[in-house]
């Protein structure tokens, strides 16, 4: 049930909201706690989420469960190759009755937008999502329409090795705060999953546990989590390290340092802390940075990105104090 508490949220409140959210989603998704928690953190960090995994592990279910847990408007877009940009953003329609053009909003106008199998639609259509994801607004024929708050785009993606796919361009990938890999559920939970779904899909019974207002407040509270200079140095060092691997054509962008810091704040708040620890950064770095690394060899795949980030985590030392001398590189 929604708890309508109007007071400004602190870290403890964020932790509470997080816990409620995760527990609610886990009613529907079992055996993928890490993915669920990371997705919830992404939401609290006000970032867009990209879910990856082979078909059938529950990516769409996870996204829908998240969407339903926070109430608000939800829209689902199934990507097909014949999808046009205007199908996403909306079009101006001539209203014969009133003799004027009327804007009919497209499915991106919602609190939670689920774009399923985003890599099955053409890059032209994918780029229609850039503006909503980054700037939270849509410009159609010169007029700008704001999108509701809170706003999150959750996209699912089949691995690129599969057929009939269009890999997401770098600019698009950079707009996703995190990539969460949804794998096969734990063995022990597999039986549970089948049992649960046999009678009636639990999704139908899922009720929201947070209101959009509470989500907004939680997101604002996340911004106030204390970030020490050493953490910032660490994040910068990690991102710099990803740029220097020789198999990388393009490393993580400067935007990713801000994103990683924000996600670390969300992680800290989710654990009930009012300050970020380097552990938070380390835990989230693969999710935040892997997909932003562009490998030199075109056919490399996501492996390279994860490997580069893993190596950076292994090599960049965790600073215990602020370094007065200029950082090594």
Partner 1 sequence: MKLEIRASAGRPEDSIAIRVVVAVAVTIAIGAVVAQPDAVPAPVAVASLLLAPLGYWFSYRRRHASNLLLKVALSVALLAALGQFLGDVRSVTSVDQARIPLASLFLWVQVLHAFDVPRRRDLAFSMVSSLILIAEAGSLSLTTSFALFLLPWAGFAGAWLSLSAKPRADQVAAPVAIRRVAPDRRSPRTAPIRPAAATAGLALLATSLVFVSMPRLPGSFVRTPPFSLAGNPSAVSGFDGTVSNPGLPAEAGDGVVDFSSGGYPGFSDVVDLQARGRLSDDLAFRVRAQQAALWRAQVFDRFDGALWTVTHDETTSLTPDGDGLSVVVPSDIALGNGALGGGSSRVVQTFYIEVPQPNVLFAAASARQVFFPSAGLRVDAAGSIRSPILLDRGLVYSVVSEVPATPAPLLRLARAQVPRGLTPYLQLPDDLPSRVGDLAAEITRGRAAWYDRVIAVQRWLRANTRYDLGVPRDPEGVDAVDHFLFETRRGYCEQIASSMAVMLRTLGIPTRLVTGYGPGQRNPLTGYFEVKQSDAHAWVEVFYPGIGWVPYDPTFGVPEAAPSAAGRFMAGPVFAAIGRFMRDVVPAPLKAAAGEAGRVVGATGALALRTWPVVMLVLMVAGVALTLARRSRRRSHADPIAPGEAAFLALVDALGPTGHVRAPQSTPSEFLDELAGDAGLDADVVEAADLVVRTFERERFAPVKPSEGEIDRARDASGRVRHLVGRR
Partner 2 sequence: MRLRKRAIGLLIGAGVLFFLGTNVQAGWLFVLAAMLLGAVITGFVLPARSTRGIDVTRRAPDRVHQGEEPLVDVIVRGGRRGTRRGLILHDRFLEAANLWVGTVRPGERVEVTTRRVARRRGTHAPTSVSVRSAAPFGVAERRRRVEVGGESTLVLPAVEPLGPLPFVQPVSTSEIAMHTAPRRGQGPEYLGVREYRPGDSMRHVHWASTARTGVMMVRELEQEQTRKLAIVIDASRDDEAAGEAFTPLDRVCSAAASIALAALAQGHGARLVTGSSDDGELDVLARASDDELLEHLALLRPVARARPFAAVVADVAPALRGTETVVLVFPTWPDNDAEHLAPAVQAVAESIGTVVAIPVMLDRGAARGVSSEERLAGLVQRLRAAGASVHAWRLGASLSAALGEAPLEAVSR
Q: Which does 82 bind (CB under 5 to 8 A by kind): partner 2, partner 1, none?
A: partner 2
77/141 Cα distance (integer angstroms): 22
Span of 81-89, 182-190, 198-206, 250-258 interacting with partner 2 by CB under 8 A: 81-89
Per DSSP, the three-state class of 145 is strand
Span of 33-41, 150-158, 164-172, 318-326 interacting with partner 2 by CB under 8 A: 164-172
In the set 115, 118, 276, 288, which binds partner 1 (CB under 8 A)?
A: 276
Find residue 101's DSSP bridge partners. Answer: 94
Q: Is residue 170 classed exposed, middle or buried when 0-12, 13-18 and 19+ CB atoms within 10 A define those classes?
A: middle
Q: Which does 164 bind (CB under 5 to 8 A by kind): partner 1, partner 2, none?
A: partner 2
Q: How far is the CB of 276 from partner 1 (least distance, A)?
A: 6
Give me the sign of the Cα torsion angle 225, 63, 290, 46: negative
For residue 80, state whether it binds partner 2 (rule: CB under 8 A). yes
221/14 Cα distance (integer angstroms): 7
- Which residue spans within the chain are E strands per DSSP? 48-52, 74-78, 90-95, 100-105, 112-116, 137-140, 143-146, 152-157, 176-181, 248-250, 294-295
The mark string for 243-272 relative to partner 2 (x by CB under 8 A, - otherwise) is ---xx-------------------------
For residue 161, state whether it binds partner 2 (rule: CB under 8 A). yes
Q: Which does 122 bind (CB under 5 to 8 A by kind): partner 1, partner 2, none?
A: partner 2
165/302 Cα distance (integer angstroms): 14
Measured from the Cβ of residue 96, the count of other Cβ atoms closer than 10 Å reads 7
With left for phi above 0 and alpha for psi between -120 and 50, is residue 206 left, alpha or beta?
A: beta
Q: Which does 161 bind (CB under 5 to 8 A by kind): partner 1, partner 2, none?
A: partner 2
For residue 228, state whether it binds partner 1 (rule: CB under 8 A). yes
Q: Which does 100 bind (CB under 5 to 8 A by kind): partner 2, partner 1, none?
A: none
Q: Which does 276 bind (CB under 5 to 8 A by kind): partner 1, partner 2, none?
A: partner 1
Residues 234-263 that bind partner 1 (CB under 8 A): 244, 246
162/165 Cα distance (integer angstroms): 7
Q: How far is the CB of 37 from partner 2 (least distance, A)?
A: 32
Rg (CA), the chain: 20
Point out which residues bind partner 1 (CB under 8 A): 226, 228, 230-231, 244, 246, 273-279, 282, 313-318, 320-321, 323-325, 328
Q: Which residues bind partner 2 (CB under 8 A)?
A: 80-82, 84, 86-87, 91, 122-123, 160-164, 166-167, 246-247, 296-299
């Amino acid at each position: 049930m929604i708890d309508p508490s109007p007071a400004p949220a602190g870290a403890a409140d964020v932790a509470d909201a997080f816990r409620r959210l995760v527990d609610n989603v886990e009613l529907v998704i079992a055996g993928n706690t890490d993915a669920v928690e990371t997705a919830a953190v992404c939401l609290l960090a006000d970032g867009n989420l990209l879910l990856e995994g082979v078909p059938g592990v529950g990516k769409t279910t996870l996204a829908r469960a998240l969407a339903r847990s926070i109430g608000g408007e939800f829209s689902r877009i199934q990507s097909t190759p014949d999808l046009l940009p205007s199908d996403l953003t909306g079009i101006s329609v001539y209203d014969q009755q009133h003799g004027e053009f009327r804007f009919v909003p497209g499915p991106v106008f919602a609190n939670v937008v689920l774009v399923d199998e985003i890599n099955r639609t053409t890059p032209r259509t994918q780029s229609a999502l850039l503006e909503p994801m980054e700037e939270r607004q849509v410009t159609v024929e010169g007029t700008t329409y704001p999108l509701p708050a809170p706003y999150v785009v959750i996209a699912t993606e089949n691995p690129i090795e599969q057929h009939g796919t269009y890999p997401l361009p770098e600019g698009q990938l950079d707009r996703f705060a995190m990539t969460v890999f949804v794998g096969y559920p734990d063995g022990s939970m597999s039986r549970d999953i089948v049992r649960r779904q046999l009678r009636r899909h639990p999704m139908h019974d899922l009720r929201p546990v947070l209101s959009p207002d509470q989500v907004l407040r939680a997101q604002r509270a996340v911004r106030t989590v204390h970030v020490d200079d050493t953490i910032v140095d660490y994040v910068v060092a990690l991102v710099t390290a990803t740029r220097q691997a020789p198999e990388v054509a393009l490393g993580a962008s400067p935007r990713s340092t801000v994103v990683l810091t924000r996600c670390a704040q969300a992680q800290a708040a989710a654990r009930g802390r009012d300050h970020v620890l380097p552990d938070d950064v380390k835990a989230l770095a693969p999710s935040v940075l892997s997909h932003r690394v562009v490998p030199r060899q075109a056919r490399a795949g996501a492996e390279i990105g994860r490997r580069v980030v893993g190596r950076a985590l292994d090599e960049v030392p965790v600073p215990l104090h602020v370094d007065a001398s200029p950082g090594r590189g």
